[in-house]
Amino acid sequence: MKEGMILNKRPHKRKNNQFKLNFTIFSMSRLISELGTSVFKFALSLYILDLTGSAALFSVVLGFTILPGVFINIFAGIFIDRHDKKKIIIICDILSAITMLTFFLVFINFAPNIAMFIALAIILSVIQAFFSIALQSSIPDLVERENVTQLNSSYQALGAIINVIGPILGAIAYNYLGLKYVLVIEAISFLFAGVIQVYLKYRVSEGEKELKSYKESLKDVFKYLKMQKSIVQLISLVVVINFLLVPLLSIALPYIAYKGINVSGGQLSLMQAMWFLGIIVGAVIVSMEKVNKIVIDKLFILLQIQAVFMILWIFPKFLLSSNISLFIITGVYCFILTVGGVFNAMTNVPMLSYLQVKIPEKVRASVFGVVNTAIQIAIPFGFWIYGLALEHIDWMYVIVVPGVCLIIIGAFAHSNKPLRQFFSNPN
């Protein structure tokens, strides 16, 4: 009897050990690769501004880091669904390393010009489009279904940490080493991440890949989405949240800090760091199994709470005394942004996890290609709309209107039975 009990425990122990191994390798490879990318992007932005002195030329290079992905995401998704995701992820990291080393050689042998950086931006954008979709769609193949949220939480927390320390390290590396050595560091980080990912163990998908034409595959994806109304609604919700929230943090917050409140650059960076600290805390909280079950049931209420904390950004408009110090105002903003970040992670991680586990493996990457395309189109439009709005109306309304929209959307989603059943149904 005891021997039988020991035998029954062994498969569970093997699964647990495999989860720990995959979790460690995945987290380490992402930290190394994406921290290197963050350092490089910040150093590159400083170099281009030093080289050209033009914000317009900088925005052109920045645009080429986004635009290729918009056009290639759907194609990339279909390609990934037909091939081995693990190989694609490793090859993308190695190709990124080769691109960096090649650009390093060009950089030290030829006079730098803006065309070189545009070419680099386009090449990396194409590679990263394949890499990002392959990574997003492969997470359910790395761990058991019940561990998907935990791995996504870890990835979200790592992203927040990188967003805080990446620019700092980028500035230090650029000032002390120069861009050419940053290129070498980035190449090494890509290469190392690619090598250690060889040891990741993926769940083998059942059946052979269907080799249809790309046109037929694309039709199958949209046919699948047409039949899955809850998934379409959730994807639409994710796109709208990104449209409203990303420009708010990237455009509105710096504008409010400098024009509305007149805080220093250091105080603004502290505010932004607190947002990412909140994301880290929220990701840790939602990774707990008991908490995750509660969060799933109240997901859209949490979205509404996040919107309320967004609206609270306008509190300086209602201060009775103008003598309140900027130190206190900064402190209040830090608290609001930290709590907002917590709720942001607690809504984003479960939504992403459920999309990953509910979408069949054979079309998962293709669906994420559609999602990424929609988000990458929506965010630039959001930047444009927020920029125009801040130029022509009081910044208070630029905060309140999106916040109220999110509250209404959250209420609609919470009352939508098919959407709530999508999250309550474990299968």
pLDDT of residue 2: 47
> Rounded distance, CA 306 to CA 407, Å?
9
- CA-based nearest residue to 362, from 151, 80, 89, 128: 80
C-alpha to C-alpha distance for 30 and 170, rounded to whole angstroms: 17
CA distance 355 to 376: 18
Tell me the one-letter amino acid at 398.
V
Question: What stretches of 90-246 adopt beta strand conformation (E)?
Answer: none
Fold of 2-209: Growth Hormone; Chain: A; (1.20.1250)
- Cα 334 to chain center, whole Å? 22
CA 119 to CA 113: how far, in whole Å? 10
Which residues neighbour 184 within 8 Å (Cβ) at sequence distance 6 or greater?
100, 101, 104
CA atoms of 80 and 77, how far apart (whole Å): 5
> Alpha carbon of 341 to those of 68, 77, 353, 376, 406: distances in Å?
30, 30, 18, 21, 15
CATH architecture for segment(s) 220-424:
Up-down Bundle (1.20)
Instruction: Give residue 210's region: left, alpha or beta (phi > 0; psi -120 to 50).
Output: beta
Domain regions of the chain by residue span = 2-209, 220-424
Q: Is the fold of 2-209 the same as that of 220-424? A: yes
Which amino acid is present at 29?
Answer: S
Longest dimension (CA), the chain: 77
- What pTM did the predictor assign? 0.81
What pLDDT sits at residue 146? 81
Q: Which of 375, 363, 353 is nearest to 223 (CA)?
A: 363
d(CA 61, CA 124): 12
Which residue, among 200, 201, 194, 221, has the nearest Cα to 81 in the 3D structure? Answer: 221
**What is the H or E stretch that residue 36 is in?**
helix 2-52
Rounded to a whole number, what is the distance in angstroms from the first to the last CA of the chain? 33
**Cα 66 from Cα 107, distance rounded (Å):** 23
Residue type, 174: Y
8 Å CB contact between 354 and 422: yes
Closest C-alpha among 30, 47, 289, 6 to residue 154? 30
Q: Rounded to the nearest 5 degrees, what angle is found at the Cα of 299, between the Cα atoms of 295 and 300?
A: 160
* Cα separation, 4 vs 389, whole angstroms: 69
pLDDT number for residue 100: 92
Q: Are 377 and 70 contacting, i.e. CB atoms less than 8 angstroms apart?
A: yes
How does pLDDT run along the chain (427 residues), one tens digit per residue?
444 544 455 555 666 777 788 889 988 988 888 888 888 888 887 888 787 776 666 667 766 777 777 788 888 888 888 888 999 999 999 999 999 999 999 988 888 888 888 888 888 888 988 998 998 888 888 888 888 888 889 888 998 888 888 888 888 888 888 888 999 999 999 999 999 999 988 876 655 556 666 677 778 888 888 888 888 888 888 899 989 998 888 888 888 887 778 777 778 888 888 999 999 999 999 988 788 778 887 888 999 999 999 999 988 887 655 677 788 888 999 999 999 999 999 998 888 888 888 888 888 888 888 888 888 888 888 888 888 888 888 889 999 999 999 999 999 888 887 777 777 665 5
Dihedrals phi, psi of 282, to nearest 5 degrees: -65, -40
